[in-house]
Structure 1
Amino acid sequence: MASPLFNLVSQLYEFHYINEAKNWTEAQQYCREKHTDLVTVTNMKDMKRLINISAGYQSEAWIGLYYQTDGTRKWHWSQSEVKFNESETNWNTNEPNDATGVQNCGIIWKNLKWGDLSCNDHRYFLCYDENKTWTEAQSYCRENHTDLISGTKQIEDEEVKNEISHVGSNTYILTGLFRDTWRWSDGSSFSFRHWNKGFDYQARYDDELILIKENKTWEDALYYCRDHHHDLVTITNMEDQISVQQEAQFASTDHVWMGLHYAWSLDLWFWVSDEVVRYKNWASNEPMDDCDMSGAMETGGKHKWRKKRDSEKFNFICSK
């Protein structure tokens, strides 16, 4: 995908709209060669300025935010000026725990203990008395107030304690705590995010993937997926890769089978879904192609693809 781009030329935050279509990497290189870097958006004031200078342009424009596929998730507060400090946390016992899958948003209970929850779950939040998802709550607070409550000082405020004293003991309340692996191109640590409504910034598609924690050979995994779901998973782009690796991290084996197989007679790797193998994420120093080989993804590290004998047994991921 190629898009126009924004760039930041100095610490005075002078923005420029570059009306040239480039992909993200090309845009970053252009900004670094001719200015300073792709734009870093630090607050709502920056957002309004970007909207003003892009008035009249209809297409999307690149900014300096990118997803680290092999990065570690880091916690942030929604209010970008409030820095997250691990030494000041108040996690409940065994939290955060990703109990039901990837849980990247923070909640508090009536006792002020913290927990993690899926950002797609609907919960009350400290701003408005209505169930919303985390991103909906953040948008509402920013449009009607300032932001979701952020930082231990605000959470432990007497007014906050009074507000949540009226809720049930098992009720979750959303806070401005979230984690992700998105980073700014210029290396800054600003936590400000302003996602478009409907955009899945976690890059997941839970409803289309399922991790099977059973150890099977590649062929048995293929038949299992086709009998119980749709097929062994296919990865055709970076977005697919991110989604699959987020499922893979919960596997009980060091690799998971994918729907990638080697046809020795044709000297060809192919996806069982008949998709052409264009996007690739092979590890370096892989063995030579050989018969009875299929593709598996690492469940840790950089989630690279490995060539494995079909007879080896791993967990696997099905598409629904």
Structure 2
Amino acid sequence: MVRIGYTMMTEQAGPRDLVGHIVGAEHAGFDFSVTSDHYFPWLESQGHAPYAWSVLGAAAQATERIPLMTYVTCPTTRYHPAVVAQKAVTLQLLSQGRFRLGLGSGENLNEHVVGGGWPAAHVRLDMLKEAVEIIRALFEGRNVNHHGGHFHVENAKLWDLPDTLPPIGIAVSGDRSCELAGHLGDLLIATEPESELVSAFERHGGAGKPKVGQLPICYDPDREAAVARAHDQFRWFGGGWSVNSELPGPAGFTGATRFVRPEDVARSIPCGDDVDAVAEAVSPYVEAGFTEVALIQIGGDHQAPYLEWAQRKLLPALREL
């Protein structure tokens, strides 16, 4: 049975609201949760970008059961991997073992703010590999000195370690990232239901490990309102990783999506209150071999009715897949 998750979308709500949403998601019965880690929203109409790690710390204290996860943190540019390691074990302690550390090679949208430039994709993957190795070394609890091609660590040690370390998930988009995830990760993360990614991950050591996907939906009893909201806030989603990772800010995404029509969005994102439409969108992930799917409800002001609908109708239906 596929596990169904809830997404705390930091781009569409402020920090206090996000914590309230995750409390509601736990009450509604979602199996797990994920949290985006952004410095900018994709589009200005989303309107938010609080610090994800503060939100996660508050969420760990406000909830009791629901697992937490970054989806995803880039440990190479805006954050140094030694700092990410410290944040991850702290959150694991605060949540009493409910945290998973999702990592990826990042997007220019969020990482450009520190002024270090935006490396080519193959360089970003090299940086990610080195960062994961540093995090793993620090998780072992020893003093770490590292002088590599991209990072330096001087006599670092984590002093507060949980009994169970946070599992590390790695976001993938091609064979090389799948190889990295299979060798160094505990789970796969992807935003497309591609069986080739699952196969490559398993081929490189990921067999038997969880595979987590993500899917945006836009619940509203008024389907036209749902389509309009999805177009307003999520028309960037269809751009693909090669585009979405490169654009530097909301203005770029506005320009890149100026010809995307509401009907184009409605074809790729389930809109309205049709449970079967959401199940149909989740099914390709299940068929591709994903074990978990995190849903995004589009619209920060539309979480409460969505959570009530999910508890009554959506989650029971999806658990039959």
What's the TM-score, normalizing by structure 2? 0.25
Q: Where is the strand percentage greater, Structure 1 or Structure 2?
A: 1
Q: Which protein has the larger Cα radius of gyration, Structure 1 or Structure 2?
A: 1
**More RCO (CA 8 Å, sep 6+):** 2
What's the TM-score, normalizing by structure 1? 0.26
Q: Where is the helix percentage greater, Structure 1 or Structure 2?
A: 2
